[in-house]
Structure 1
Amino acid sequence: MFLVGGTFLAFLLIGAPVAFAIGLSGFVFFVNSDVMPLSIGVQKIANVSQSFPLLAVPFFVLAGHLMNESGITDRLFKFSNVTVSWMAGGLAQVSIILSTLMGGISGSAVADAAMEARVLGPKMTENGYSKGFSAAVIALSSLITATIPPSIGLILYGYVGNVSIGKLFLAGIVPGILMMTVLMVTAYVISKKRNYVSEGARIPTFREFLCAVVDAKWALLFPVLLIATIRGGVFTPSEVGAFAVVYAAAVGFFGHRELTFDGIKTAFGDALTDLGMIMLIILMSGMVGFAITFLQVPQSVSGALLAGLSDPTVIVGVILIILFVSGLFVESTVLVLLLTPIFVPIIKQLGVDPVHFGILMMTIVTLGSMTPPVGVAMFTVCAIMNVKIESYVRESLPFLAAIFVLVFALLLLPDVVLFLPRLAF
């Protein structure tokens, strides 16, 4: 396993694409194995693609891009602006609310952060918000998409760990709302101290709020339909992804009348670009996943952890620390595909619910996208807004502290995460 891991890290260090680093490290395992022919490795790549639950990924990615082209994103922004822009740090609050709502649309933290950096970033700096604060709020609020359904990460975790995706979707709602709350409180406290208040800001009237709700009704209805159809047994998670594509197209054509043929071409082009990267990583992980299982890595790691520790909560806490450190250097999708087969058997052996662990894991590994040294969402937002990394890091510390406190609370209080899945299933 050291040879496989060393090969993977070596290719990452020289700047090779992640998919090739994974594939070549898996290839090294089969080339150096005396009992496993290389043809088995090729079969494992093919086997990964033959998965019905995995169909949810391309469907939801395409649905997210179609919704961007159908006017849903603009209406969500207007709704968020009406409801919270009157508060201290109004535009920061808009970013956090928008991330929560977009979590049910894009399912991608990086896509959400990039969109908000373009739309909200200039407005925040124009209204006196510091660039570092603006970038930190936008990037870190996109973490909410890690748990709010239809999170792409939760789909992959459920697929690799053989965990119910429907339960994961339901389990992510309360943590997502709590994440929104703690980030809003943190932004409010900082903004109040710095006097980040928009001129002429006022609480909206009931009529203004109602108009915003009606205008964004199709966007607000989608997450509700998503959960209701899965819980009601109408669709499987894969089928509801196909439903999301049809829903986005129907809203664009008939509800908002903004979706054009050019918009469809743009959505398909963007979706294909995203999927090319995601699916190549997933396919290449088939060989490495098999190597991890064959070499009994989960059993070795489990033995090492269980030998010195006995409390399940402490062990899960140690695993989360390992995941956070790994997330600082490796993209979240890769970590989910590579480490889920290692850690899920361990936490099951401890009696920890894999749904509870999945929510914590996705939050922690996605956080790596917002932190140095290789945070994709961080670099994306800072590049779009022309923000220095050191300024971003300094302003992000209060938000990171709030996130860690919330994760620690969710670790100690599993019933908060598991309340909705138990109620529904």
Structure 2
Amino acid sequence: MDIAIFLCCFALLLFLFMRQPVFVAILGATAIYFLFHTELNSAFMVQRVIAGTQSIPLLAIPFFVCAGVFMNYTGVTKRIIDFCEALIGNVIGGIGHVTVLVATIMGGLSGSNLADAAMEAKMLVPEMRKRGFSNEFASVLVATAAIITPLIPPGIAMIIYGSIANVSIGKLFVAGIGPGLLLCVTLMILVAVISYKRGYTNKHPVDTSFKRVVKTFKGAFLPLCLPIVIIGGIRIGAFTPTEAGSVAIVYSLLLGIIYREMSFKNIMQGLKETVLTSASIMLIVGAASAFAWILTRERVPQYLTGLFIHHLNSGVLFLICVNLFLIFIGMFIESTAAMIILVPLLTPIAAHFGIDEIQFAMVVIFNFSIGVLSPPMGTLMFVTCSITKCPMLNFIKEAVPFYLLLVFCLILLTFVPVFTTGLVNLVY
């Protein structure tokens, strides 16, 4: 490795700390490398950026983004909130539990944690404040619950990981259910404990009768079937993960027709949002792909593999180091870009230590999900606080027990494989 790669990495970190857009920071660092290596034609950098986006599995990203946007225009969110409230609206911390359940269910519909956090911050935080919850607690709960989204299928992170590491996206979809439900259950336990200590109870009881449960379930039934349709269709071979995205779009349009809540104006607005969201993701994917090519050319993966093998003699030590490293990186670098750059470096080492590829995928995705919530550059934190007007310092103080909970879940996913591979072994 020569000095160019070190200057390239230094420039990347410098641009990120200067708060430049992620794709600009990565492209800038890549351009510096090509300036040092004059034997490389600059047009090749452009070719690498374009080639990085020309992957069939990545087509699933705009498909699922579009399906999630359309879902928000069909009144699905309100129906799911009503159903969740009818189930557990009267327990201690009821609306807090509803928030976690909605995030779990909507995670299987939208695939975008930022979109879910923004939606729940607008719809559920005001309701939590009305029922006595502090603004800080409500904001942290919404942001933390949104971490479930990339874990529950069809998470965008799984599509990106599978396309990079050549791992079955269908298996990743199934594997994500375990970590998603684990985080859902542990979050609800934490909400119950904090609500009990602080007296977060409903002053005005909600209707949780069997009649209302049945009524709200009827309204939420069709949206709840979407993850089942996607995973079931992939498993029986009816369609590929990429084609599942187009199936999700058709399904969301059918819901719009059935519920009569989606107009032509909504469709056009949804398509506009899809283009903007997908473009921002694909710009990062293309830029990170060019940067990853530089790392491969400089044999950085081989160097790191030799370093780990020489200094670490067990998979357990490797996993501990990876967890610490990825959480730290996730605090500063956007998760999509970090995944594209680091996954090709880490997966060969994990394979050397005999770590299951599905388990390692879930550990990596969960690590980056924690990073998205963590200061100083956690995008989930910024999105939620900007909507709820929660001061950042208050958010961080309130989030301490939630960070501890996330670390506990990460330890379980890292060292208890059944949470990540149990369902995959059962289904496949």
* TM-score (normalised: structure 1): 0.97
CA 38–79 in structure 1, closer or farther in 2 if over 3 Å, else same: same
Match of 1:21 among 22, 25, 44: 25
SS in 2 for 1:105: helix
Letter aligned with residue 355 of structure 1: I
Alignment of 1:194-205 (within 5 A): 194-201=198-205, 204-205=208-209
Are residues 1:297 and 2:297 paired? no
Letter aligned with residue 330 of structure 1: I
Match of 1:234 among 235, 238, 262: 238
Are residues 1:185 and 2:189 paired? yes
Alignment of 1:144-183 (within 5 A): 144-183=148-187
Contact 2:73–2:262, Cα closer than 8 Å, also in 1: yes
Are residues 1:124 and 2:128 paired? yes
Q: Which residue of 2 aligns with 1:273?
A: 276
Displacement, 1:36?
Answer: 3.5
Q: Which residue of 2 aligns with 1:63?
A: 67
Contact 1:81–1:94, Cα closer than 8 Å, also in 2: yes
Q: How far apart in 1 are the matches of 2:53 and 2:305?
A: 29
Alignment of 1:307-346 (within 5 A): 307-346=310-349
Match of 1:83 among 87, 91, 96: 87
Are residues 1:93 and 2:108 paired? no
SS in 2 for 1:146: coil
Displacement, 1:286?
Answer: 2.0
Letter aligned with residue 184 of structure 1: M
Letter aligned with residue 80 of structure 2: L
Match of 1:3 among 7, 11, 31: 7
Contact 2:136–2:394, Cα closer than 8 Å, also in 1: yes
Q: Deviations over 1:123-143 (max 9, x none)?
A: 111211111111110100111
Contact 2:370–2:406, Cα closer than 8 Å, also in 1: no
Are residues 1:391 and 2:417 paired? no
Displacement, 1:27?
Answer: 2.0
Q: Deviations over 1:208-237 (max 9, x none)?
A: 212111110111111111110011111101
CA 35–310 in structure 1, closer or farther in 2 if over 3 Å, else same: farther
Contact 1:230–1:236, Cα closer than 8 Å, also in 2: yes
SS in 1 for 2:308: helix
Letter aligned with residue 129 of structure 1: F
SS in 1 for 2:149: helix
Superposed CA RMSD: 1.3
Letter aligned with residue 368 of structure 1: G
CA 218–40 in structure 1, closer or farther in 2 if over 3 Å, else same: same
Are residues 1:134 and 2:138 paired? yes
Contact 1:63–1:241, Cα closer than 8 Å, also in 2: yes
Match of 2:224 among 202, 220, 223: 220
Q: How far apart in 1 are the matches of 2:424 and 2:102?
A: 25
Displacement, 1:203?
Answer: 7.5
Q: How far apart in 1 are the matches of 2:40 and 2:84?
A: 55
Displacement, 1:151?
Answer: 0.5
| Number of aligned positions between the proteins | 424
Displacement, 1:35?
Answer: 5.0
Q: Deviations over 1:353-401 (max 9, x none)?
A: 1211111111111212212111111111112111111211111111111
CA 113–233 in structure 1, closer or farther in 2 if over 3 Å, else same: same
Are residues 1:359 and 2:369 paired? no
Displacement, 1:278?
Answer: 0.6
Displacement, 1:40?
Answer: 2.6
Letter aligned with residue 47 of structure 1: A
Letter aligned with residue 143 of structure 2: A
Match of 1:373 among 372, 376, 387: 376
SS in 2 for 1:104: helix
Q: Which residue of 2 aligns with 1:347?
A: 350
Q: 5-14 or 39-48, which moves further after superposition?
A: 39-48
Q: How far apart in 2 are the matches of 1:84 and 1:335?
A: 38
Q: How far apart in 2 are the matches of 1:84 and 1:244?
A: 29
Letter aligned with residue 58 of structure 1: P
Letter aligned with residue 400 of structure 1: Y
SS in 2 for 1:204: coil
Q: Which residue of 1 aligns with 2:260?
A: 257
Contact 1:87–1:201, Cα closer than 8 Å, also in 2: no
Q: How far apart in 2 are the matches of 1:144 and 1:258?
A: 27
Are residues 1:283 and 2:286 paired? yes
Q: Which residue of 2 aligns with 1:72?
A: 76
* TM-score (normalised: structure 2): 0.96
Any unmatched runs of 5+ in structure 1? none
Q: Deviations over 1:115-173 (max 9, x none)?
A: 10100111111211111111110100111012100100111011111111011000000
> Percent same amino acid among aligned pairs?
34
Q: How far apart in 1 are the matches of 2:79 and 2:51?
A: 41
Q: How far apart in 2 are the matches of 1:205 and 1:14?
A: 54
Q: How far apart in 1 are the matches of 2:354 and 2:43?
A: 37
